[in-house]
């Protein structure tokens, strides 16, 4: 069964690139372009992983991560911040808000898939 990944990203070019890489490698991709829609989509779709931009309209990624962690339906889902926030302390702030990982933008198409797959839960019982 295909793993589902929710991408919460408001930049069309970034969303296109991320979706292209993931779908090309067999993942099912759901997308949301603002924080509130991301929370609603996560609860409805129950993805295996959430890729979360931090700079979002309506609600920033830190708040989105905290809200996802508060909801029992979405709390166990790994959340990876994918952000251009790369100053000292930004990774820690993302992790403190509930993210389980952090990928800096601009993403590198050569390494992005491996970075994402490092955060996916292993497939039950078989080779991961």
pLDDT tens digits, residue range 51-105? 999 999 999 999 999 999 999 999 999 999 999 877 788 899 999 999 999 999 9
Looking at residue 127, what is its pLDDT? 42
Task: Report whether 51 contacts 116 (CB < 8 A).
Answer: yes
As a 3-state breakdown, the chain gives helix, strand, coil percent values, each rounded to 5, of: 35, 20, 45
Buried b (16+ CB within 10 A) or exposed e, 25-51: eebebbbbbbbebbbebbeebebbbbb
Calpha distance 112→57 (Å, rounded): 24
pTM of the model: 0.93
Spell out the domains of the chain, with CATH numbers in brackets. 4-117 (3.40.50.2300)
Angle at 78 between CA 92 and CA 85, to 5 degrees: 35
The percentage of residues in the chain with a pLDDT greater than 90, rounded to a whole number, is: 86
> What average pLDDT does the structure give for the chain?
93
pLDDT tens digits, residue range 17-64? 999 999 999 999 999 999 999 999 999 999 999 999 999 999 999 999
């Amino acid at each position: 069964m295909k793993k589902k990944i929710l991408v919460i990203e408001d930049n069309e070019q970034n969303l296109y690139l991320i979706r292209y890489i993931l779908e090309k490698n067999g993942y099912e991709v759901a997308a949301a372009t603002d924080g509130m829609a991301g929370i609603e989509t996560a609860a409805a779709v129950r993805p295996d992983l959430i890729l979360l931009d931090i700079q979002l309209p309506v609600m920033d990624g830190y708040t989105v991560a905290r809200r996802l962690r508060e909801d029992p339906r979405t709390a166990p889902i790994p959340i990876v911040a994918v952000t251009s926030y790369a100053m000292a302390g930004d990774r820690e702030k993302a992790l403190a808000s509930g993210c389980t990982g952090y990928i800096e933008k601009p993403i590198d198409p050569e390494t992005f898939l491996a970075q994402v797959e490092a955060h996916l839960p292993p497939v039950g019982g078989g080779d991961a």
